[in-house]
Amino acid sequence: MGKVYYLSKNVVIGLLVLTTISLATIIGLSIAYDKEKSKDRDKPGGGAPDSTTTMHTTMPTPGSIQKEPWDLYRLPDSLVPVFYNVTLWPRLKSNADGLFIFTGHSSVVFKCVKETDLIIIHCNKLNLTNLYGHHAYLRGLGEAAAPPIRKAWLVVKTEYLAIQLGSPLAVGASYELHTAFQGELADDLEGFYRSEYFEDGVKKVVAVSQMEATYARKAFPCFDEPAMKAIFYVTIIHDRTTVALSNGREIDTTNDVIDGVPVRLTAFEGTQRMSTYLLAFIVCDFVYIQSTQNNSLLVRIWARRKAIDDGHGDYALSVTGPILHFYEHYYNVAYPLSKSDQIALPDFNAGAMENWGLVTYRETALLYDPILSSTGNKQRIIAIISHELAHMWFGNLVTMKWWNDLWLNEGFASYVEYLGADYAEPTWNIKDQIILYDVHKGFAVDALASSHPLSRREEEVNDSAQISGMFNVISYSKGAAVLRMLSEFLTEPVFAKGLSSYLITFAFENTVYTDLWDHLQQAVENTPDIRIPDTVHNIMNHWTLQMGFPLVTIDTRTGCVTQNHFLLDPDAVVDRPSEFNYTWIVPIKWMKTGVEQEQYWLLHKTDINSGMRVSGEEWLLANTNVSGYFRVNYDPSNWDRLLSLLNTNHKALSVMNRAQIIDDAFNLARGKIINTTLALKTTKYLSKERDYIPWETALRNFDFYILMFDRSEVYGSLQAYLRKQIQPLFEHFKTITANWTKVPAGHTDQYNQITAVGLACSMGVEGCRVLIESWYRQWMEDPQRNPIHPNLKSTVYCSAIAFGGVEEWDFAWMMFKNATLASEASKLRAAMACTKIPWLLNRYLEYTVDPTKIRKQDTTSTIQHVAQNVVGLPLAWKFVRERWSYIFQQYGKGSFSVSNLISGITKRFSTEFELHELKKFKEDNLYLGFGSATGTLEQAIETTTANFKWVKENKAHVLAWLTEESA
Ligand code: BES
Ligand code: ZN
């Protein structure tokens, strides 16, 4: 049984800094009183008793019905953290065992709000150091005496440190729990981990953290749930040649010598009251550029020295100020912190992470080279910065209570990122692109019977895999689309007003999604001239509590309007009941013959709107600018009128509407609601189309045809048709770029040029292959001078490698290894998957699981690139099946990656055999589970089934139509 230690009020516990000890050795502690500093700060000292015990680890009792509190994934509600002192010392050099480790100690002051004799706190993969015979040390604050620790043990499955006390804690009293620990600074991209890179031939190590969703517990014991907000006082111990960063401003640095090692202690200001998943700790020797906003807010961009010296952080710095400014106005709440750091990391699993005050990025998501990077790279950077900065308020200042509401956090940021980016780059029309990158993406998954509602009940989301599984297309893209629809029907000022009062009311607190609806409702009620047919709450429930979306059918002969749950595969069985019977309250913006009409609300399954009758030359278009999250179908005569409008005067419709007609038609055809030939007819006008969004939409739909047919005889006619359609666009760009020597002026025109060149080459347009081969050849002859414009690099590299042989591939590999700009490396990495030579592809697949060749962060996306290639698909699929358990264990825990891998590989599956293989793959690996990718696998099976049927039913018609049209 443990002893009790009482410390009088004026005795302050000092610090425990762990010495460099290997994981296996018995641990000695140094304890001393710190006379100089307040209890908030710990300082190393020496001379303390050594004590040892074995660590116990329990596994949950099998078969027990009444689960123990430590077998439950959710923390009990008896203890509430107030503040933490965390000291961490990452070692950037490996120890005698070849391991990189970190040591640390931390204390948490918590309040007991319900009687309990049990302390349960998250703790994962940490070796706890013994404190007086226990894993932890407890002390009472104020008058409270700490009960004795009877037993302390780690629970592996639920990732807890559990402490059984000899008597209960007093309700209302506060206590301080102290732990000291050692962890591995592994290269696993989770928790406190290490990233490595070479600078001037020397290997450098960076210690960095990624806490979301459940990895803070891997850095120090903590109450690791989003609602357990607290203040964090962080101190980092590090080499004097390095710099330490965390969420707050650095307020103190002192040099010291610990265990003979000269070190620096950097202390940071206490954070705001915040969630653990937003913490960040970094030690590196990066440098920064800075600007000061309003004289007080410090804005810095950090990166490797070479990247900063080459000016790669300049673009990010230049847009950060304006974007923060935009959000301060939009939310009507000042930026809540005193600094904003953003840092580019060589190894990073997600694209970026919104740690409060210290946002972390992949290099490709933050660093821009004006000479070498493409317009697409630039847009990705501004979009991602805008997304993460949106979270500084929505998500960080006000946080969801639990992960079931993640959609609100990510969906919201995915919507407003377009607004922030548009403010900083007003000429780009970036807001239109939401339909490509979110609305259509949401539709694709949400049209499956295996989709799921945006909103999950709290009890449905428990363990880490379920939490990671929430970071999916539905949360991000449907979330964004639905919030955009809400903002559209409330109007932006009302939406922003409600939002602002929500943020002010719940600042530093946690919410559930209905809190937002309440504040938006208030805003509606305070605005006299806005009318909605029901409360925000009731309207939105239809969109968040049931999966899917409606297909609205308008019969313009009768004015009859109907809605149905749209399914990509009409035969799929929907076994998920809905309290609304799959009907929605649908806000319909629409126009008649070019004239906008008053918004119409479809409140029932069917309705008559006589205003929607049209005749003669009139036409009707509903869901203008895709402002609603639904698809539209018309009676055949209105379809004909829209088709003829496209063919005669397509500019009468906005780019978004042109894109939407194509996308709706193709998807309705896939859902067997209209004929495939009608869908194909919407693309006839493309020979006159010069805008990006309609072209991109069409190509994504044709991409499906390419995937389905590029291994069959249909492919020849498809190529001929697309060649015919793309030819004029290719010529157009050739002319306006003066024979490819200039860049089109418009932002999206630059994108469309890439489309034109890419498609023209793959469809065999005359002159294209020669052009590309000569550019690549020139580069191979003089690697110092790359004649290929950055915008065209991805396309040109891919085509040149596809046309070329080993020599072209090996050259790309060499340039990849030498690249100092991550986005350049990334283009080459994708292009190397374009070769048609099987052994090169197989060798490349092997490289993907060798971290000395391909960074771990890039493994799954590289395999996906190979699977995109028609020759690579069977190789990649075989590779993945053979090594599934390794891949899953190495890369499976993270959020997007394995899930993306499954959807990437199965995208072109369309045969009965492939369906069978997929199902077998599922069965064979059930013992391992699919973690966060479970949902994606089900979706892949459903999509393959639908594809298989679609191909069988449509192949002949498609072939006939294409043959006729390409003649
Ligand atoms: N909070 C996420 C990062 C994240 C994702 C953490 C998954 C843990 C698991 C961040 O805000 C984010 O959404 N990043 C996106 C970029 C964004 C522009 C969609 C990403 O990483 O791709
Ligand atoms: Zn996000």
pLDDT tens, position by position, 627-667: 999 999 999 999 999 999 999 999 999 999 999 999 999 99
Find the 326 Cα to ligand 2 centroid distance in Å. 18
* Three-class DSSP category at 151: strand
Predicted confidence (pLDDT) per residue in 728-751, tens digit: 999 999 999 999 889 999 999 999
* Three-class DSSP category at 555: strand
Cβ count within 10 A of residue 964: 11
Task: Take atom 7 of ligand 1 and give the residue whose Cα is closest.
Answer: 895
Percent of the chain with pLDDT over 70: 92
Distance of CA 315 to the CA centre of its chain: 22
Burial of 225 (0-12, 13-18, 19+ CB in 10 A): buried
Q: Which ligand neighbours the alpha carbon of 900 most closely?
A: 1
- The answer to whether 936 and 470 have CB atoms below 8 angstroms apart is no
Mutate which of 363, 385, 471, 474 for ligand 1 pocket (most atoms within 8 A of beta carbon):
471
Find the 407 Cα to ligand 2 centroid distance in Å. 10
Whole-angstrom distance between the N-terminal and C-terminal Cα of the chain? Answer: 89
* pLDDT at residue 31, as a whole number: 26
Find the 475 Cα to ligand 1 centroid distance in Å. 11
Burial of 868 (0-12, 13-18, 19+ CB in 10 A): buried
Q: Which of 190, 388, 425, 488 is catalytic?
A: 388
Instruction: Please tell me which residue, 126 or 21, carries the higher pLDDT value.
Output: 126
Bridge-based pairing of strands 79-90 and 231-238 is parallel
* pLDDT at residue 65, as a whole number: 67
Spatial separation of the C-alpha atoms in residues 590 and 596, rounded to whole Å = 6
**Ligand 1 atom, smallest distance to 362 CA:** 21
Task: Take atom 13 of ligand 1 and give the residue whose Cα is closest.
Answer: 410
Predicted confidence (pLDDT) per residue in 319-330, tens digit: 999 999 999 999
Query: Tokens representing 711?
Result: 């291994």
Residue 895: C-alpha distances to residues 217, 618, 857 (Å): 17, 49, 12
Query: Tokens representing 111?
Result: 């309040």
Question: Which pLDDT band holds residue 892 (cuts at 50, 70, 90)?
Answer: low
Write down the H helix ranges in 271-397.
305-309, 314-331, 375-391
Spatial separation of the C-alpha atoms in residues 843 and 866, rounded to whole Å = 11
Mutate which of 190, 209, 212 for ligand 1 pocket (most atoms within 8 A of beta carbon):
212
Q: State pTM to two decimals.
A: 0.92
**Ligand 1 atom, smallest distance to 351 CA:** 21
Spatial separation of the C-alpha atoms in residues 515 and 380, rounded to whole Å = 32
Q: Which ligand neighbours the alpha carbon of 381 most closely?
A: 1
- The answer to whether 454 and 543 have CB atoms below 8 angstroms apart is yes
- Core vs surface per residue 647-676: b (16+ CB within 10 A) or e: eeebeebbbbbbbbbbbbbbbbbbbbbbbb
pLDDT over threshold 50, residue 19? no
Question: Which pLDDT band holds residue 686 (cuts at 50, 70, 90)?
Answer: very high
Tell me the residue type at 854: I
**Ligand 1 atom, smallest distance to 388 CA:** 11
Strands (E), 54-190: 57-58, 79-90, 101-112, 118-122, 126-128, 137-140, 149-155, 160-165, 174-184
Instruction: Please tell me which residue, 569 or 4, carries the higher pLDDT value.
Output: 569
- Please provide residue 400's backbone torsions phi and psi, each rounded to the nearest 5 degrees: -65, 150
Spatial separation of the C-alpha atoms in residues 208 and 303, rounded to whole Å = 13
Smallest CA-to-CA distance from 296 within 325, 334, 339, 332 is with: 339
Spatial separation of the C-alpha atoms in residues 106 and 86, rounded to whole Å = 4
Find the 24 Cα to ligand 1 centroid distance in Å. 36
pLDDT over threshold 90, residue 896? no
Percent of the chain with pLDDT over 90: 82
Locate tokens 């294409």: which residue?
A: 962
pLDDT over threshold 80, residue 313? yes
Residues 6 or more apart whose CB falls under 8 angstroms from that of 294 comprise none
- The answer to whether 445 and 451 have CB atoms below 8 angstroms apart is yes
Report the phi/psi class of residue 519: left, alpha or beta, with left for phi > 0 and alpha for psi in -120 to 50. alpha
Spatial separation of the C-alpha atoms in residues 956 and 363, rounded to whole Å = 47
Q: Which ligand neighbours the alpha carbon of 471 most closely?
A: 1
Find the 349 Cα to ligand 1 centroid distance in Å. 9
Question: Mean pLDDT of all residues in the chain?
Answer: 91
pLDDT over threshold 60, residue 237? yes
Tell me whether residue 689 is one of the annotated catalytic residues: no
Q: Average the pLDDT over each of 36-50, 269-283, 740-754, 938-952 and give the range with the smallest value.
A: 36-50
- The answer to whether 676 and 954 have CB atoms below 8 angstroms apart is yes
Task: Take atom 14 of ligand 1 and give the residue whose Cα is closest.
Answer: 352
**Ligand 1 atom, smallest distance to 476 CA:** 19
Find the 409 Cα to ligand 2 centroid distance in Å. 7
Mutate which of 342, 345, 387, 898 for ligand 1 pocket (most atoms within 8 A of beta carbon):
387
Mutate which of 190, 353, 477 for ligand 1 pocket (most atoms within 8 A of beta carbon):
353
Question: Which pLDDT band holds residue 52 (cuts at 50, 70, 90)?
Answer: very low
**Ligand 1 atom, smallest distance to 354 CA:** 11
**Ligand 1 atom, smallest distance to 414 CA:** 19
Task: Take atom 18 of ligand 1 and give the residue whose Cα is closest.
Answer: 384
- The answer to whether 478 and 446 have CB atoms below 8 angstroms apart is yes
Smallest CA-to-CA distance from 635 within 613, 653, 655 is with: 613
Spatial separation of the C-alpha atoms in residues 183 and 192, rounded to whole Å = 9
Q: Which ligand neighbours the alpha carbon of 409 most closely?
A: 2
* pLDDT at residue 62, as a whole number: 54
- Core vs surface per residue 789-821: b (16+ CB within 10 A) or e: bbbbbbbbbbbbbbbbeeebbebbbebbeebbb
pLDDT over threshold 70, residue 57? no
Locate tokens 């009444």: which residue?
A: 66
pLDDT over threshold 70, residue 574? yes
Locate tokens 């932006």: which residue?
A: 492
Query: Tokens representing 416?
Result: 């407003």
Write down the H helix ranges in 893-933.
896-906, 912-924
Bridge-based pairing of strands 243-246 and 160-165 is unpaired
Burial of 118 (0-12, 13-18, 19+ CB in 10 A): middle
Q: Which residue ranges have their beta carbon within 6 Å of ligand 1? A: 212-213, 350-354, 383-384, 387-388, 391, 410, 413-414, 471, 895
* pLDDT at residue 816, as a whole number: 97
Residue 844: C-alpha distances to residues 360, 459, 461, 896 (Å): 29, 43, 38, 22
Q: Which ligand neighbours the alpha carbon of 477 most closely?
A: 1
Name beta bridge partners: 669: none
Predicted confidence (pLDDT) per residue in 818-871, tens digit: 999 999 999 999 999 999 999 999 999 999 999 999 999 899 999 999 999 989
Task: Take atom 1 of ligand 1 and give the residue whose Cα is closest.
Answer: 353
Cβ count within 10 A of residue 590: 22
* pLDDT at residue 295, as a whole number: 66
Task: Take atom 8 of ligand 1 and give the residue whose Cα is closest.
Answer: 212
Instruction: Please tell me which residue, 802 or 32, carries the higher pLDDT value.
Output: 802
pLDDT over threshold 60, residue 727? yes
Longest CA–CA span in the chain (Å) reads 95
pLDDT over threshold 50, residue 693? yes
Mutate which of 345, 382, 388, 826 for ligand 1 pocket (most atoms within 8 A of beta carbon):
388
**Ligand 1 atom, smallest distance to 212 CA:** 8
pLDDT over threshold 70, residue 929? yes
DSSP state letter for 55: P
- Core vs surface per residue 246-270: b (16+ CB within 10 A) or e: bbbebeeeeeeebeeeebbbbbbbb
Cβ count within 10 A of residue 33: 12
Q: Which ligand neighbours the alpha carbon of 190 most closely?
A: 1
Find the 740 Cα to ligand 1 centroid distance in Å. 36
Residues 6 or more apart whose CB falls under 8 angstroms from that of 692 comprise 655, 748, 749, 751, 752, 755
Find the 546 Cα to ligand 1 centroid distance in Å. 24
DSSP state letter for 131: B
Cβ count within 10 A of residue 156: 12
Angle at 109 between CA 103 and CA 112, to 5 degrees: 135
DSSP state letter for 858: G
Bridge-based pairing of strands 57-58 and 149-155 is parallel
**Beta-carbon-side half-sphere exposure of residue 96 (alpha carbons within 13 Å):** 6
**Ligand 1 atom, smallest distance to 349 CA:** 21
* pLDDT at residue 292, as a whole number: 73
Find the 463 Cα to ligand 2 centroid distance in Å. 20
* pLDDT at residue 843, as a whole number: 97
Question: Which pLDDT band holds residue 708 (cuts at 50, 70, 90)?
Answer: confident
**How many residues does this entry show for the chain?**
967
pLDDT over threshold 80, residue 591? yes
Task: Take atom 6 of ligand 1 and give the residue whose Cα is closest.
Answer: 212
Question: Which pLDDT band holds residue 137 (cuts at 50, 70, 90)?
Answer: very high
Locate tokens 């964004």: which residue?
A: 480
Question: Which pLDDT band holds residue 63 (cuts at 50, 70, 90)?
Answer: low
Spatial separation of the C-alpha atoms in residues 86 and 220, rounded to whole Å = 8
* pLDDT at residue 294, as a whole number: 62
pLDDT over threshold 90, residue 668? yes
pLDDT over threshold 60, residue 53? no
- The answer to whether 236 and 91 have CB atoms below 8 angstroms apart is no
- Please provide residue 388's backbone torsions phi and psi, each rounded to the nearest 5 degrees: -65, -40
Find the 406 Cα to ligand 2 centroid distance in Å. 9
Task: Take atom 17 of ligand 1 and give the residue whose Cα is closest.
Answer: 384
pLDDT over threshold 60, residue 24? no
* pLDDT at residue 293, as a whole number: 61
Spatial separation of the C-alpha atoms in residues 298 and 342, rounded to whole Å = 11
Residues 6 or more apart whose CB falls under 8 angstroms from that of 310 comprise 369, 820
Task: Take atom 5 of ligand 1 and give the residue whose Cα is closest.
Answer: 350
